[in-house]
Structure 1
Amino acid sequence: MHDTGTVSPSAPAPHQEERPSLQQEERLSEQPARHDDGKHARRFGLPVATCLVMGNIIGGGIFLLPASVAPFGTISLVAFAVLTAGAIALALVFGRLARRDPRTGGPYVYAREAFGDFAGFLAAWSYWITTWVSNAALAVAAVGYLDVLIPVADHRWTACLAALALQVPPALANFAGTRYVGAVQLVATVLKFLPLLLVAVGGLFFFDSANLGPFQASDEGPVGAVSASAAILLFSYLGVESAAVSAGEVRDPRRNVGRATVLGTLGAALVYLLGTLAVFGTVAHDKLVASTAPFSDAVDVMFGGSWGGTAVALAALVSMVGALNGWTLLSAQTPYAAARDGLFPAAFAKKRRGVPVVGVLVTVVLASLLTVYNYTAGPSGVFEVLVLVTTFTATVPYLLATAAQLYFLASGQRERVDRRRLVRDAVLAGLAFGFSMWLVAGAGYAAVYQGVLFLFAGVLVYAWMAARKQRAANQVSSS
């Protein structure tokens, strides 16, 4: 097991002269990778990095999306198109940022470089909360699909054990090393996209425009209908940052992170749009509005029989296990980067076989405890509130990262570019910032309020870690 050693001394704000240069920090950040290289630690190529992005964007929610937006009519497809444009702008910004700074940590690295330790810590803390709460949510949701295959949901504790068991394979893959994380992610992405593409593409051959229903089915105006359906769809693209967060594990990150981010986002968007359109055209609108398994209904219409539910349940399980695998890795990457800078406990900076094992272990423990809490709390709705909070905490790093890009462009830091490219990048960053703000607004007042409380709770952790860094710096200067 590799230990990175003592915590680095205080890191001043980026505008101070004593801050290490980017080249020095990159050389330091690359040192652990040399020690961790081995047959179980392997850097991700472009295909695996793309699968990481696609697999984390698309969890199990896609199997319910068509029914969720059907009450608004086909105008919801317009909201999908708008959101896709915003997500691609965000993906392009992450690609630009990764070219400037291809280190593990993604939004944390960019926020800290632009605005200093405190902003970096807020990005890391917020993203970390998102990952382990999301893992618990994925596991609990997966039990509903598992119940279609094996009855487990009738008894509370049987369902709880099933949710805990579903978290074990992704955790073991992460403990085994990045080689196995990449292999699981690649296989899971292929397996889950085969049935999705079957419906998305095959459904077009069974498409009947009579099933579409009205363009605008709700009483709201066009703008209100687009906004209302967008509020449901807004979080379908969370995960676009996956390759950037794992940049240190990506081969040739300056080139591949941006490509993987854009390709993964485009791939997810294609499946979303085609899948939703195919279901709209194969399942009658009045039936779709009340459907609890729209993809199953579409498969039954396409091929007859009643095996659609089983097929979709299998696809959803594979999808969620793949998402758990990817999110487990990401849950350890941001604390790893922050720990190397002295902003998280030093134990999070330990790597084994290319994976920050302490971060993975802590994530598994916290997600498991939250899973158990979900089944003990009963119908109080506390767990649902926590999941809603993550829709806010996930967007905080987006806002900080896109603001960092605007800062880099406005201040002329990092690279000299021609005026045309500067304007283009500024427009992209502005669109991505607006998209991130839209995500925050879509979270709702309660989620934003409680999410801010979660962020402020982290201020105590930052104060403690900052004090330790300062003491270490004082000892170095006095000696």
Structure 2
Amino acid sequence: MNLMTATALVMGNIIGGGIFLLPASVAPFGTVSLLAFGVLTVGAVALALVFGRLAQRHPDTGGPYVYAREAFGDFAGFLSAWSYWTMTWVSNAALAVAAVGYVHVLLPGHASPGNDLLVALAALWLPALANFAGTRYVGAVQLISTVLKFIPLLFIAVVGLFFFDPHNLGRFHEGGGSAFGGMSAAAAILLYSYVGVESAAMSAGEVRDPERNVGRATVLGTVGAAVVYLLGTLAVFGTVAHTKLVHSTAPFSDAVDAMFGGHWGGTVVAAAAVISIIGALNGWTLMSAQSPYAAAKDGLFPAPFLTKRRGVPTVGVLAAVLLASALTVINYLSGAGGVFEILVLITTFSATVPYLLAAGAQIYFLLSGRRDKVCPARFVRDLTLALVAFGFTFWLVAGAGYAAIYQGVLFLFAGILVYAVMAARRAGRTREAEPESETDPATGAGDRTAGGAAGATETAAADAR
């Protein structure tokens, strides 16, 4: 993937289907939510810059997993890979279900549980087929889908400013409590809008000239998504009356109808939403395979995840789409989707684990004198960015809510069993590879050439310290 396709991967993964509902979701808090969005954008850009710095010295597939393992060891690396993998395939199922609602707008009169399930499964498997074809096709689909969804969203965002009416805005802070409390409440909804900033770093091994292009693609993709988010939300706030917006189920459609009249806006926005979700699924399907692939190279995930074809870890893609399909079937068979919603809550927490570990790895590299791992100069700037990124991610954890954190930790700790099995296998292979000790029968002393050399090395290192 070149710089353009890598940027499209980042932007496409960040902008999924949620943007089409965000203005209505935060409208009850007042225009203070725009301020919250601005603060979150600063944090997201800081996190993007941190991933860019880390990718300069570690241009390998796996991104956050690679950084966490390098800084804190195998266990931290595994937790990063496990959490990220969990987040990707569960959120893919959520995106597929979300696509069904927009298909109803495009094809009214065909809604039924059976048809809805088929549409959701098609939304999962079509991007998976593109991934099986190779990274070139993934990049092509991502580039096309990003352009097709970016143009109408940017059009609404820019043209909407010409129809902007300040009288449509609600108060700065709606409801009770303080303005800061309202901003935090709005931020809790908006926090997950920027999940995906790590996409280029996660696929660094498949990016052309990754030392330069990963960082650029990460920042460009994040800034591009931020422009669409901020201008789009502002345009909707200024074109749709606040009293109507708080109850809207299609705020961008209402904005188009308010600007140009008629009721054709819903169809246009629904088409853009379907394209946006398919593009996001295309990118997230690739992401779901990259993390276990990187961990499998180090023996922390089962070996089949190493299977790769045309730049894509095919077993990882297949495992992710099968698991997401199973969750989708459970959602429709259970009716209310209780189990499914619990798992979706887990993803909100799971996304923050690799982010925290990556930001912590940057801080560790800088403070331990290993600045060569990220950037040989600009210590103060890099450290400030890392601290801002860590604070931003910590805010993500706080915004997830107690239930999501509790359930997410349980799911995270379930991975410890997998780690124990894989670590035991690695230890067994290491023991088999070690040479047998040659013991002197008279003294009982072992020659143990390999062990002696290792001991001498450790002693020398200790003396040096």
How big is each residue's C-alpha offset from its partner over 1:268-313, in whole Å with a ceiling of 9 and x where there is no partner? 0100000000001111111111111000000111111110110000
Q: Normalising by structure 1, what TM-score?
A: 0.89
How big is each residue's C-alpha offset from its partner over 1:73-102, in whole Å with a ceiling of 9 and x where there is no partner? 111100000000000110000001001111
| Alignment partners' CA distance in 1, 2:184 and 2:371 | 37
Query: What is the 5 A alignment of 1:199-348?
Result: 199-348=156-305
Match of 2:41 in 1: 84
Cα gap change, 1:202/1:363 in structure 2, threshold over 3 Å: closer, same or farther? same
Amino acid at match of 2:205: G
- Confirm whether residue 148 of structure 1 aligns to residue 105 of structure 2: yes
- The equivalent position to 2:80 in structure 1, one of 123, 129, 148, is 123
- The equivalent position to 1:72 in structure 2, one of 18, 29, 37, is 29
- The equivalent position to 1:445 in structure 2, one of 399, 402, 419, is 402
| Alignment partners' CA distance in 2, 1:398 and 1:478 | 41
Percent of pairs with identical residues: 73
| Alignment partners' CA distance in 2, 1:319 and 1:98 | 27
Shift of 1:442: 0.5
- The equivalent position to 1:473 in structure 2, one of 426, 430, 448, is 430
How big is each residue's C-alpha offset from its partner over 1:91-133, in whole Å with a ceiling of 9 and x where there is no partner? 0000010011110000000000001100000000000000000
Cα gap change, 1:453/1:409 in structure 2, threshold over 3 Å: closer, same or farther? same
Question: Structure 1 unaligned runs (5+)?
Answer: 1-43
Match of 1:35 in 2: none
Match of 1:22 in 2: none
- The equivalent position to 1:353 in structure 2, one of 310, 327, 335, is 310
Amino acid at match of 2:139: G
| Alignment partners' CA distance in 2, 1:384 and 1:151 | 26
How big is each residue's C-alpha offset from its partner over 1:421-457, in whole Å with a ceiling of 9 and x where there is no partner? 1111111101100111100011100100110111111
Give the match's secondary structure for 1:239.
coil
| Alignment partners' CA distance in 2, 1:100 and 1:404 | 13
Shift of 1:151: 3.6
Residues 60, 319 of structure 1: 8 Å contact kept: yes
Amino acid at match of 2:67: Y
How big is each residue's C-alpha offset from its partner over 1:355-407, in whole Å with a ceiling of 9 and x where there is no partner? 10000000110000000000111215221111111000000000000000001
Match of 1:162 in 2: 119
How big is each residue's C-alpha offset from its partner over 1:179-198, in whole Å with a ceiling of 9 and x where there is no partner? 10000000000000111011
After the TM superposition, list the runs of 4 or more consecutive aligned residues in structure 1 that deviate by more than 6 angstroms.
416-420
Residues 57, 373 of structure 2: 8 Å contact kept: no
| Alignment partners' CA distance in 2, 1:303 and 1:139 | 31
Cα gap change, 1:416/1:308 in structure 2, threshold over 3 Å: closer, same or farther? closer
Amino acid at match of 1:83: L
Shift of 1:138: 0.2
**Which structure would you say has the larger Rg?**
2
Amino acid at match of 1:81: G
Residues 138, 282 of structure 2: 8 Å contact kept: yes
Query: What is the 5 A alignment of 1:103-142?
Result: 103-142=60-99
Give the match's secondary structure for 1:290.
coil
| Alignment partners' CA distance in 1, 2:360 and 2:371 | 15
- The equivalent position to 1:421 in structure 2, one of 351, 354, 378, is 378
Over the aligned positions, Cα root-mean-square deviation in angstroms equals 1.4
Shift of 1:152: 6.9
| Alignment partners' CA distance in 2, 1:150 and 1:279 | 25
Shift of 1:154: 3.5
Give the match's secondary structure for 1:270.
helix
Match of 1:406 in 2: 363
- Confirm whether residue 391 of structure 1 aligns to residue 342 of structure 2: no
Shift of 1:417: 9.1
Residues 144, 153 of structure 1: 8 Å contact kept: no
| Alignment partners' CA distance in 2, 1:455 and 1:153 | 39
| Alignment partners' CA distance in 2, 1:184 and 1:419 | 37
| Alignment partners' CA distance in 1, 2:109 and 2:298 | 44
Match of 2:323 in 1: 366
| Alignment partners' CA distance in 2, 1:341 and 1:142 | 36
Residues 146, 152 of structure 1: 8 Å contact kept: no
Amino acid at match of 2:386: A
Amino acid at match of 2:64: P
Query: What is the 5 A alignment of 1:2-81?
Result: 44-81=1-38
Amino acid at match of 1:421: R
Give the match's secondary structure for 2:336.
helix
Amino acid at match of 2:100: V
Amino acid at match of 1:47: M
| Alignment partners' CA distance in 1, 2:290 and 2:254 | 39
Shift of 1:414: 5.1
Shift of 1:158: 1.7
Cα gap change, 1:153/1:475 in structure 2, threshold over 3 Å: closer, same or farther? farther
Residues 143, 152 of structure 1: 8 Å contact kept: no
Q: Which moved more, 1:97-106 or 1:212-221?
A: 212-221
Amino acid at match of 1:292: T
Give the match's secondary structure for 1:281.
helix
| Alignment partners' CA distance in 2, 1:91 and 1:202 | 29
| Alignment partners' CA distance in 2, 1:418 and 1:173 | 36
